Amino acid sequence: MKVAVYIRVSTMDQEPETQARELRQFVASRGWELAETYQDVGISGARARRPGLDRLLKNAWQGKFEAVVVWDLSRMA
């Protein structure tokens, strides 16, 4: 299965690689193919526009992957 990973951290002092590392391991352990990693750094989840998420949604509509993996639903919603 081809999947996308979405990472978001709210402040610039948070390290997105913490989420990325564990999500890559999660994807690999299941034998899934990582299509792309999308991320937003220093962006609140309350914002209507998030460049990484916007690009992920566009690519989802284009069928570039079958599922999205996130650290926690609060990172996306």
Please tell me the distance from the alpha carbon of residue 2 to that of residue 34, in angstroms, as a whole number: 6
Q: What is the pLDDT of residues 34-67, one digit of tens each?
A: 999 999 988 765 666 889 999 999 999 999 999 9
> What confidence score (pLDDT) does residue 20 get?
93
- Residues 33/24, Cβ–Cβ less than 8 Å: no
- Does the domain at residues 2-76 carry the CATH identifier 3.40.50.300? no
Residues of the chain with pLDDT > 70, as a percent, come to 91
Q: What is the CB neighbour count within 10 angstroms for residue 38?
A: 21
